[in-house]
Every structure is written in structure tokens, then in C-alpha cells.
Structure 1
Amino acid sequence: MRALVLTGPGKAEVHEVEPPAAAPGEVVVDVERAGVCGTDVELFTGGMSYLRTGRSWYPLRPGHEWCGRVSAAGEGVDPSWLGRRVTGDTMLGCGRCGRCRAGRHHVCAELAELGISRGRPGALAERLAVPATALHPLPDAVDATLGALVEPGGNALRAVRAAGLEAGDRLLVLGTGTIGLLTALFARAAGAEVHLMGRDEHGLRLAASLGFAGAWTRGSLPALPWDAVIDASNAPELPALAAALVEPGRRVVCIGLAGTPSTIDTRDLVLKDVTVVGVLGGSAGLAGAIAAYASGSVDARPLVAATVGLAGTAGVLAGRRPPGAGPGPKIHIDPRR
């Protein structure tokens, strides 16, 4: 089968590789759609910290935002999975430790991340092997575009839940990339008044086109009371800004990751009685994201600018936008092309 392989920093090629077999407890999925994520770009450029710590290594087959159809089931797998459209969890814990048994498999000490770490091949390929325990079925109302947006949607939904919002509360989202815009969409669906702050004019225009009148730059941001602030950026200075802006006694949620350390003066947290929550992965939000997409309460499809074939993935990772791409921040890959 064809699969995208990262062979070193800045080197991505489509290779012919052995197709996966359905090992005990696993299924093989024929991939219909896969998203290109900022993590994939960091793996491509060599900037990902896992490459320095030994958690990831080249050659590497990326891709962790995906959907497809189950074509084979291994020993011990319920055969009813065969033929079903699915997506799945990126975070694959050992299943045995206390964290996994308590439902915190996404922070398992032996965690393997699909298409990211510990050599687990990803979804930028024609086929993908994945544990059946990680699968989530997709209803007919969730098309391939939305199916490949479930993983980032799960992250965004977890961030919204962590913010502790009630209907009518005012939320500020820092960042207008995929996660920032998804977070805004899920928060609005939950009844919040949502504002976004960004520095990318394209992102701010897209936010406005999605119906968010409160799309600001740092200089134009109004002095409003913010019941929660979610940092979905990669700017190291913004967590501290979030703590400064949020109302006393409320919450800051950090889902973005900067390339350098962020500094927060804990006195700002203590003296305002602020709770700061970190969100890693979408595991606990995947089912909710699917339900929101299926019901139509969240339509994330405008975030996808273009869908290209597997051969176009290297260019996307290098920062080249496909001809005719729309304004959205996300590029999808159809490995069948």
C-alpha cells in the first residue's frame, strides 16, 4: 500500500509499504480522510520535542486525525465492526495500569500515540491498524470531512468543558487556528458568548464569517469581564495574558503548546483565586464531538480549506497551500487519490 513516510527533518515521501494485518484485538481500517495537524508539521520539520527525547524517531509514518471503514478484524474483535465507518482515539494506553483502569489512558506512562510516538504507524496511508478498543463508530450524518475532524473536535470540546462555563457566560479564546475555531464553535453550541483574539487576519476574517462578531486583535480587544479564557495558541506569552484577563475565581484553560517555556506569575493566580487547567488529547471528548457533528449543532466543515491526494502531503507539511484552497486553516488528505 502507499503511505507517507518521514525519513528525516524536511524529508517526506510516499512509499510502497507492507499493508497492516489485523493483529489480535485490532482492526484494519481503509482510510477515507486524514487531517494534517501542527504536530505532523513539527514531526516533519524536526522541531517536535519527542524527537529529542527519543519518544519519536525516523522513519515515521504520521497522521492521527482520520476516518475510514473497517476492512478486517483480528482475533478477539467483535465481527460486527466489519464494514462500519469509524474514527478512533490517538492515545493508546497499556490498558493495565492504574491510570488506564481509571479512564486516564491518555496519560499512561507507556502511552503510544497513533502516528506520533513509539513507532505506531499513522493514518496518512491507505490503510491503518488500530486497537478495536480505540474505535468510535460514525453515524451516516457525519461525512468524511467531519469524521476526520473528530479528533481535534474532541480536544476542543474537552477545553470547553474544562472552562466550567454556563449558558450566557462570556468566553475569550486566544488563537484562531483549527483548535481555537473549533473551541469557539463548541462553546457557542453550549450557549456561551464567544469572542476570539488572534493576530492572523485570515483567521479573524474566517471567525467573523462563522458568525463570531467578537473577533479581535490584542490592540482592539475590549475591556470586558471574561468568565473563562482558553489559550489555544502557540505563543509563550499568552498563558500569562489569559491569567491577567480572566475574572477572579474563574478558569483559564491551556490547550495550546508553545515552542519555548511559558511563564505565569503564580501570585496572579493565587490573588485572583484562578484555576488553570491543562488539556492533553481529545480522548474523553471524541463521543461528544461525534454527537455534536451528527446533530448539526457544530458544523466544522468550513475549517477545511482543501482536500488533496497523498502525493500532495509533503507540500502541505512544507507550508504550501493547495491551489484554490479556501480560507480555513485545515488541509485534508484523501489517501485513495
Structure 2
Amino acid sequence: MDDVMRAVRCVDGRATVAEVPVPVGEGVRIKTASAGVCGSDLHMMELGFLGPFTVGHEFAGWLDDGRPVAVEPIRGCGACGLCRAGHYNRCPATVGEVAGVSRDGGMADEVLMWPEAVVPLPAGVDARDACLVEPLAIAVHGFAMVGLRGDLRVAVIGGGTIGQTALAVAALAGCEVGLVARHDAQKEAGARLGAVPMTEEPYDVVVEAAGTTSALADAARVCRPGGTILVLGTYWEGMELPGMDLSMKEITVVPSSMYGRSGAGRDFDLAAAALARLPDLPDAIITHRFPLDACADAFATAADRSSGAIKVVLEP
């Protein structure tokens, strides 16, 4: 039927394909090409945070005229000082405007989004890979906060999608990048993206991308005195700081959340441009692709790192 479509919803704590009405009303219609399963999706589903909305905040697709686009899934009120300064990720109104969390997201045949969410893709970037623009934007935003330069030595703790995109962005900037990863697939992907073996020499910037107390302690251990820890991991159960290393080394800890806009433009636009310059990234980290109807298998695979999964993608 033309008035219904498929969409992934959280039903009884599980990812389930449901038939829902085709979206109508104001907005830009996007036919979904790819939607990534994020670790946050897994946690929110497990914790019961997801409401009656279509899941998926990492997604890309095609406009009605066929143009490929990525989608920035958040927006603020647009009027407060934070939004006017480009920090709409910090705006309290953003909580109610996150596609895939507090409104319908991209794990569906199509979705309506506000016009500002549309991010044109550079030539050569396939919409089927462009769900990676969202995690790339997280890395771009975080590194903008710490002032990434090519002469810095960077270590990344955590080999999941965020760790791999951080590695790729730092390597693209010309940095020497070491990676601490738990699983063989993560180590192999990191090597493809330019990671070099970790050394005993402390690092200028350490990216904590695992969201665990032990990872944060490892980050403080390998960070140089006066260095910086960039926290890209999400701490769902609170954070325990490695106080002695932080204090004795006078380490600066920089927490980072999502993405925004700076003098150079939107983090999302910069991330889309970075993806065009990282042709090996999709093959390195998109380890599994599933049709939309197999969403339960996709979520189960994403939750099982021993399966070799890094980024699991749904393709309607």
C-alpha cells in the first residue's frame, strides 16, 4: 500500500520492523540508503529509553530529485545564545529534537526532516556509505575542541566506530596515531586506516572512545604531562576519574558531545568532506550490511563484538 512503509521501532525492548504511515507534512523527504546501528541505540534500547519513534540517528539517503545527502539528526531552538554561537548541541531544546530518539529517525524506507538537517554529499561519496558522516562529525567536533594539529601524537583508546573515525580524522590531519583496541577486527581496521603500534612515549592527545572507567584510566596513563584527554565515549553508568594521574600530570580533560558549528562551518559538512578524502573508511569499518527486514539480526550482530562487527548498517 502506498500510504504505509516499513520502520524499525523498539517493541518490548527489541528492534522490530513495523508498518507505519508514510510521513506527511512539512519537511524534506529523504529515501533512506543506509542507517548505522550505533552503540547508543543498543544502550537506549536495553535501558528502555526509546519511545514510540523510528530508531536511527546515523543515516543518509536520496532526495526526491536523486541527490545523495547525509542527515544531521539534531537541532536546537535556533534562538538562544548557544544556538546563535553554533553550540546547538548544548541547547536544552535539542533533547526533544533528536531523530531516532525523540522523533522519527532513519531506519525506515523514508523520513521527513527539517531542511537544515540536509547535508549535501561531495562527489564520489555513496549514500550507502554516508551513514558514517554522523560518527565522523563526532570526531571532527571533538578534535576542533582540542585544536588538532598534524604535529601532535595521538592515541585512541577503543576500537569501535567512534575510535576508528577519530583515528581516521587524526591520520588525515597528518598525526601519528596509535590505537588500543580489544578485538582483532578492530585492530585490523585501525591498521588499514593508518594506526601505528603504540609506544612507551607519552601522547599529546588521547581520545577516550570506549566509555569505560578502565579506558579512561588507560588514557590518563599514556597521556603526557600537560597533555589532553578528549572524551568521545559515552558514560551511561557514571564516570570514575583516575585522579592521581590527572592531578600529577595536570592533564586537561575535554568532554565532547555530538556536533555543532564553528567558524569553519558545520562539523557535519566538514565530516562529509572528510569522508570524500577517506575512501578506505567504509570498507574498513562497515563490517556487516543487512536489509531492513533483518533488523533484529543486525542489532544482535552489533551487540556481539566477537562476531567481528564494527559498524553494522541497515539498507532499506
Q: Shorter-chain TM-score: what band?
A: 0.7 to 0.9
1:93-133 deviation digits (Å, cap 9, x = unpaired): 1212221122111111111211012xx00100001111101
Q: Counterpart of 1:145?
A: 128
- Which residue number in structure 2 is paired with residue 291 of structure 1? 273
- Counterpart check, 1:36 vs 2:51: no
Shift of 1:32: 1.2
Q: In structure 1, the residue corresponding to 2:147 is in which secondary structure?
A: coil
Q: Is 2:295 aligned against 1:313?
A: yes
Superposed displacement of residue 153, structure 1: 0.8
1:243 and 1:269 in contact (8 A); partners too: yes
CA distance in 2, matches of 1:198, 1:245: 14
Equivalent position to 2:54, from 58, 61, 73: 61
Q: Percent identity?
A: 31
3-state SS in 2 of match to 1:123: coil
Give the match for residue 5 of structure 1. 9
Which of these residues, 63, 66, 73, is aligned with residue 90 of structure 1? 73
TM-superposition CA deviations, 1:242-273 (whole Å, max 9, x none): 22321122211001023322222556434433
Secondary structure of the structure 1 residue equivalent to 2:8: strand
Whole-angstrom CA distance in 2 between matches of 1:244 and 1:295: 32
Q: Match for 1:5: what amino acid? A: R
Confirm whether residue 334 of structure 1 aligns to residue 311 of structure 2. no
In the alignment, is the contact (CA less than 8 A) between 1:253 and 1:279 conserved in 2? yes
Quick one: structure 1 residues 158 and 300, their matched pair in 2 at CA, closer, same or farther if it must change by over 3 Å?
farther
Q: What is aligned with 1:155? A: 138
The CA distance in 2 between the partners of 1:167 and 1:101, in whole Å, is 30
Which 4+ runs in 1 deviate beyond 6 A? Answer: none
Aligned twin of 1:181: 164
Where 2:271 maps in the other structure, the secondary structure is helix
Instruction: Work out which of the residue numbers 203, 208, 211 in structure 1 matches 2:186.
Output: 203
Residue 304 of structure 1 pairs with residue 280 of structure 2? no
Residues 320 and 168 of structure 1, relative CA distance in 2, 3 Å threshold: closer
How far is the alpha carbon of 1:297 from its aligned partner?
7.0
Deviation at 1:240, TM superposition (A): 3.1
1:57-136 aligned at under 5 Å gives the runs 57-71=50-64, 82-111=65-94, 112-117=97-102, 120-136=103-119
Which deviations, in whole Å up to 9, do the C-alpha atoms of 1:59-117 show, x marking residues without a partner? 2311111111223xxxxxxxxxx543211212121212221122111111111211012
Kindly tell me the number of residue pairs found equivalent between the two proteins.
Answer: 304
Q: State how far apart, in whole Å, the 2-side matches of 1:85 and 1:22 are.
A: 22
Contact 1:8 1:59 in 2 (8 A): no
Question: Following the alignment from structure 1 to structure 2, what is the Cα–Cα distance between the partners of residues 202 and 305?
Answer: 9
Distance in structure 2 (CA, Å) of the matches to 1:157 and 1:141: 20
Give the Cα–Cα distance (whole angstroms) in 2 for the partners of residues 228 and 19 of structure 1: 46
Change (3 A) 1:196 1:263: same
Give the Cα–Cα distance (whole angstroms) in 2 for the partners of residues 35 and 319 of structure 1. 12
Q: Give the gaps of 5 or more residues in structure 2.
A: 261-265
Alignment of 1:273-292 (within 5 A): 273-283=250-260, 284-292=266-274
Q: Is residue 40–residue 62 contact of structure 1 (8 Å, CA) maintained in 2?
A: yes
- Conserved? CA contact 1:164–1:251, under 8 Å: no
Cα drift, residue 8 of structure 1: 2.5
Shift of 1:234: 2.6
Give unpaired runs (5+ residues) of structure 1.
Answer: 52-56, 72-81, 215-220
| 2:295–2:314 CA contact under 8 A, matched in 1 | yes
The code of the aligned residue for 2:236 comes to G
Aligned-pair Cα RMSD in Å: 2.4
TM-score using structure 1 length: 0.83
